[in-house]
Amino acid sequence: MTIDATTALDAAGDRPDAAAVTRAGNALAGEGYVAGIDLGGTKVLAAIFAPDGSIVSRAKVVTGRTGGLDVVDRMAAAVREATAVAGLDLSQVVAVGTGVPAPVDPVTGVVHMTPNIAGWEGMPLKQELGGRLGNIAVAIDNDVRVAVIAEHGAGAGVGARNMVGIWPGTGVGGGLILDGRIYTGSASYAGEIGHVTIKEGGARCGCGGRGHLEAYCSRTAIVRHLARLVRRGERTRLTRIVGRDVTRAKSSDLAAAAALGDTAVIAVLDRAARYLAIGIASMANLLNPEIVVLGGGVIEALGDPFIRKVTRLVRKEPFSATTQPLKIVASAMGDDAGITGAAIIARQMQAGLHP
C-alpha cells in the first residue's frame, strides 16, 4: 500500500502540491495516531491508524435504535475501545475522522439530515464527538465521499489526479477528485452524480425528480423495474429466490439470477448499464478524468462482467478523446473503505487539506 514517491509526483505533473506530497508518502501516514470511524445504520466501526499508516486496532459497537446523542456516545465508545485495544492513551490519538450516511457540512461539522439515524437533523457532530473525546479535532464528511477518498488515497484510484467515483447501491452516490483533492462545491453537495438527469421525463427518482441516473442504476430502481415486468406477466427466477415481491431482491440475488441466464434480470441490468454508461460519458466529457471507480452494493455483486459491459458502452460514445483513454474499474477497498477514508480525512485535516 506504500506508494513509490516518484510515481505519485509524476502523476501530479509539475505541480507537486501538498495533497500529492501526502499521497506520495502514504495518504494514511502522519504525525501521531488517528482514528477512523465508519458509522453505519447497524454498527459503528472504529480503527486506530499508526503514524506509518498501518491499522493497529479495531473496535465494533452496535449503532442501536435510540438515535440522537446516544449514537455519538457509541461512536466515542468505539474510539475509546480501539484506543485501549492498541494499548494507547486517548491523548496519543491526535485526530478523528468519520463518514456519515447523510449530507453533511464538512466545514461546520453539522449533519443536515439523516434518513438512517433518528434525531440527527442539525446535529453538530464535530463538536459533540470531539467533546466526548477530550476535545479532539474531528473531520467529518458524507460516507460515499469518504469511500471515494479511500479509493483515491489507498485503493483503486491511487495516484490519479482526476477521478470520478460512482456508487450504485440503495441510491447512487458519488464523489469527484479534481487536481488531487475532493471537490465539494459551494455548499458541499458536489458529486451528487445520482441526480444528474440522463432522460427527460424519465423514471421517477427518490429525490422527486425524473430521469435521474439513480432512477435507473440504483438497486431500488432495478428491482422496481423488475416488479413492473413481473406484473406485466414476465417470468423471472427471482420469484423463486425471494418470492413474489421481487423488490425484496438484494444485489447478490440479482447477480445470481443473471448468472443463471434470467432474461428479465439481464434485460434490466443491461438497461442500468446503458444509463450508467451515458452518465459516465457525460462525466468524462465534462471533467476529463483519467479514471472512474465504481463501488457500492450493485457493483460489488455484479463485478467485472457488468463493468466490462459498461466500459464497452462508454467506448462507443462518439466524443472519443475523453472516453477512449478512460479507465473504468471496481472499487478495491472492500469493507475497510469507511474506516480508511475517515482516517485519510483526519490526516488531511492535520495537513490543513480538509476542513
Among 189, 177, 203, which residue's Cα sits nearest to residue 283? 177
Question: How far are the Cα atoms of 62, 180, 191, 300, 329 from residue 163, in angstroms, in the given order?
Answer: 33, 8, 11, 19, 11
Cβ 211 to Zn ion shortest distance, Å: 9
Cβ atoms of residues 95 and 136 within 8 Å = yes
Give the H or E element holding residue 10.
helix 5-11
- In the complex with Zn ion, the residue whose CB is nearer, 39 or 144, is 144
Per CB under 5 A, the segment of 51-59, 138-146, 203-211, 277-285 that binds Zn ion is 203-211
How many residues sit close enough to Zn ion to count as binding (CB under 5 A)?
Answer: 5
Alpha-carbon torsion (330, 336, 342, 346), positive or negative: negative
205 touching Zn ion, by CB under 5 A: yes
Q: Tell me the sheet residues that pair with 327.
A: 291
Q: Applying CB under 5 A, which part among 197-205, 236-244, 258-266, 312-320 lies near Zn ion? A: 197-205
In the bound complex, what is the minimum distance in angstroms from residue 262's beta carbon to Zn ion? 28
Q: How far is the CB of 221 from Zn ion (least distance, A)?
A: 10
Least distance (Å) between residue 214 CB and Zn ion: 5
The number of helices, as runs of H, and strands, as runs of E, in the chain is: 13, 12
Residue nearest to Zn ion (CB): 205
* In 209-319, beta strands by DSSP E: 291-294
Shortest distance, CB of residue 213 to Zn ion, whole angstroms? Answer: 8
User: Is-contact 214 170, C-beta < 8 A?
Assistant: no
Q: What x/- string results for residues 207 through 236 when contact with Zn ion is judged by CB under 5 A?
A: x-x--x------------------------
| Contact characters 157-196, Zn ion, x per CB under 5 A | --------------------------------------x-
Shortest distance (Å) from residue 207 CB to Zn ion = 3
Taking CB under 5 A as the rule, does residue 124 contact Zn ion? no
In sequence order, the β-bridge partners of residue 48 are 35, 57
Residues that bind Zn ion (CB under 5 A): 195, 205, 207, 209, 212
